[in-house]
């Protein structure tokens, strides 16, 4: 069987579609920002005891009304002179101010990352880190579990998608930012974190104690499965847990193995896949989609840009079922939406999360970064997924409160359809 290594493995990218920007509790999760920081010289204040550029003006055209920046220094001085637990580290105030500046937009996916958080984020995208192994996000101003990762402490402790975290180590999460929640849950291997959870179907909140561990994400799994009435393993099963740096090469290898088995159907499992790199999602969808756009992107200018399919679409024409659930988000929704729009696959499971925006990670000179929402995306037929999600062709209702360990009703339904 010919190997279809037709789509090259991607370089390290910074256009990302993660739920919460892949700010995993694992935790999973250059332009104007750089220019403004460089021009102000504020980054030079860190560790130098001096502040440069205090009198400099912002680039022309950025201010539409007057701003008295002396108020910033007045508040800074008040804190340093009157706060009870003085002195306060200048870096803490400085990065806190930048976090507040970015938070002023009101977009939960646009965030400032201090150098340590930025480094952790990059490590998470590479697929290895320490934490509990769960994606978290904001939904209706509440901290929620998007998806526990397979085999991680979070999954073993019984965390489920849509669980609401109301307390972290005794700290109420009401009004807590996503970044604060990430920082509170993340920690070194062997340490413990206690979460108080509200779950649908359970009347009272309950506590879950989780021991953190080193998390290594296996982004792609492959096996051959049998239909429910057959002993012959002739169905190729490929599960993608994240769209990270090694996903495309591993997916390509899985496809080669699948095609060597001459399967009569393919199951692509995107359940609990919170997203990742936009380009990787386009590359994966291109194994089915040929000579058509995979996704449409709309920026501030309101113009829509097409991301065309790449490669030779070696899986086009293969009977395909895509599995999704409430933990399938962002890049997962791009793949599921494209295959659904072109009638290249039957989508089975629960309605997906509904994240239809694109973030770019813009690195700054001191190691910090800003993750900025730069665009919205739409399926090839122009469907907006933001807040709506992908509606499956066949809905499988999953009662997670009663779900037995090891059972996957969505996969079982797919295998039934392939009798």
User: Is 234 in the active site?
Assistant: no
Mean pLDDT of 75-88: 92
Is the confidence at residue 14, as pLDDT, over 60? no
Specify the DSSP element, H or E, that contains 235: strand 233-240
pLDDT of residue 149: 79
Provide the sign of the torsion angle of the four alpha carbons 10, 13, 18, 24, taken in this order: positive
Q: What is the pLDDT of residue 218?
A: 80
| Residue whose token pair is 């320490």 | 130
The reported pLDDT for the residue numbered 399 is: 72
Q: 11 pLDDT exceeds 80?
A: no
How far apart CA 294 and CA 306 sit, in angstroms, is 8
Alpha-carbon separation of residue 212 from 72, 112, 152, 157, 349 (angstroms): 39, 25, 9, 11, 30
269 a catalytic residue = no
- 341 carries an active-site annotation: yes
Confidence check: pLDDT of 8 > 60 = no
Q: Which residue has the higher pLDDT, 231 or 267?
A: 267
Fold classified for 218-417: 2-enoyl-CoA Hydratase; Chain A, domain 1 (3.90.226)
Is the pLDDT confidence value at 413 over 90?
Answer: yes
Region 91-104: mean pLDDT is: 91
Instruction: Tell me what pLDDT residue 140 has.
Output: 80
What was the pLDDT predicted at 308?
Answer: 96
Of 330, 332, 357, 368, catalytic: 330
**pLDDT, tens only, 27-54:** 333 222 222 233 333 333 334 566 666 6
Q: How many CA atoms lie within 13 A of 126 on its CB side?
A: 9
Considering the candidates 355, 357, 368, 371, report the single residue annotated as catalytic.
355
CA distance 307 to 292: 9
> How much is the pLDDT for 43?
36
> Is 70 exceeded by the pLDDT of residue 124?
no
Q: Are strands 265-269 and 320-324 parallel, antiparallel or unpaired?
A: parallel
Supply the pLDDT for residue 7: 36
**Residue 5 pLDDT:** 35
Strands 15-16 and 357-363: antiparallel
Backbone φ and ψ of 288, nearest 5°: -110, -45
- Per-residue pLDDT, averaged over 229-235, amounts to 85
More confident of the two residues 327 and 220: 220
Among residues 7, 16, 25, 321, which one has the least CA distance to residue 144?
25
End-to-end CA distance of the chain: 26
- Give the pLDDT score at 240: 96
pLDDT, tens digit, 9 for 90 and up, residues 147-193: 787 789 998 999 988 899 999 999 999 988 777 888 889 888 999 99
Contact in structure between 260 and 288 (CB atoms under 8 Å): no
Q: Kindly state the average pLDDT of the residues 339-358.
A: 95
Distance in angstroms (rounded) separating the CA atoms of residues 98 and 141: 21
Which percentage of the chain shows pLDDT scores above 90?
51
Instruction: Answer yes or no: is pLDDT of 3 > 50.
Output: no
Inform me whether the pLDDT recorded for 292 exceeds 60. Answer: yes
Residue-level pLDDT at 116: 85
pLDDT tens per residue, range 106-120: 888 898 999 988 887
Q: In angstroms, rounded to a whole number, what is the distance separating the alpha carbons of residues 82 and 80?
A: 6
Q: Determine which one of 341, 357, 368, 371 is catalytic.
A: 341
Q: Report how far residue 408's alpha carbon sits from residue 402's, in angstroms, rounded to the nearest whole number.
A: 12
pTM of the full structure: 0.71
Beta strands 233-240; 220-226: pairing state: antiparallel
- For residue 372, pLDDT beyond 60: yes
pLDDT digits over 185-201, tens only?
988 899 999 999 999 88
**pLDDT tens per residue across span 375-393:** 999 999 999 988 889 999 9
Structure-token match 């950025």, residue found: 62
* Rg of the chain (C-alpha set): 23
Rounded to an integer, what distance in angstroms lies between the CA atom of residue 243 and that of residue 279? 9
If you search the block for the tokens 């101010």, which residue do you land on?
97
The DSSP H or E segment spanning 136 is strand 134-139
pLDDT at residue 136 tops 50: yes
**How sure is the predictor about 404, in pLDDT bands with cuts at 50, 70 and 90?**
low
């Amino acid at each position: 069987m010919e190997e279809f290594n037709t789509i090259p493995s991607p370089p390290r990218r910074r256009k990302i579609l993660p739920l919460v920007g892949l700010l995993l509790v694992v935790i999973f999760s250059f332009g104007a920002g750089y220019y403004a920081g460089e021009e102000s010289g504020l980054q030079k204040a860190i560790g130098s005891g001096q502040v440069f550029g205090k009198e400099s003006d912002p680039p022309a055209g950025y201010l539409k009304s007057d701003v008295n920046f002396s108020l910033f220094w007045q508040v800074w001085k008040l804190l340093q002179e009157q706060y009870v637990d003085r002195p306060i580290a200048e870096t803490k105030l400085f990065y806190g101010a930048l976090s507040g500046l970015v938070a002023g937009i009101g977009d939960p996916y646009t965030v400032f990352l201090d150098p340590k958080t930025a480094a952790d984020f990059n490590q998470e995208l590479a697929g290895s880190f320490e934490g509990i192994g769960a994606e978290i996000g904001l939904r209706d101003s509440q901290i929620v579990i998007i998806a526990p990762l397979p085999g991680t402490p979070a999954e073993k402790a019984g965390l489920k998608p849509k669980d609401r975290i109301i307390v972290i180590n005794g700290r109420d999460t009401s009004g807590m930012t996503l970044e604060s929640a990430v920082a509170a849950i993340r920690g070194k291997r062997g340490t413990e974190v206690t979460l108080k959870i509200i779950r649908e179907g359970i009347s009272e909140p309950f506590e879950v104690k989780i021991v953190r561990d080193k998390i290594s994400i296996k982004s792609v799994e492959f096996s051959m499965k049998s239909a429910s009435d057959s002993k012959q393993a002739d169905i190729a099963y490929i599960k993608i847990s994240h769209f990270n740096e090694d996903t495309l090469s591993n997916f390509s290898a899985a496809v080669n193995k699948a095609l060597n088995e001459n399967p009569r159907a393919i199951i692509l499992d995107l359940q609990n896949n919170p997203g990742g790199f936009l380009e990787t999602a386009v590359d994966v969808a291109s194994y089915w989609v040929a000579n058509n756009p995979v996704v449409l992107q709309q920026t501030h200018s309101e113009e829509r840009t097409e991301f065309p399919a790449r490669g030779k679409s070696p899986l086009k024409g293969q009977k395909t079922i895509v599995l999704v659930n409430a933990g399938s988000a962002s890049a997962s929704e791009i793949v599921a939406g494209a295959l659904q729009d072109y009638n290249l696959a039957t989508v089975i499971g629960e309605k997906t999360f509904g994240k239809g925006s694109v973030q770019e990670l813009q690195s700054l000179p001191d190691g910090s970064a800003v993750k900025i929402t730069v665009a919205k995306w739409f399926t090839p037929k122009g469907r907006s997924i933001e807040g709506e999600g992908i509606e499956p062709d066949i809905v499988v209702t999953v009662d997670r409160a009663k779900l037995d360990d090891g059972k996957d009703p969505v996969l079982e339904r797919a295998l039934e359809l392939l009798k």
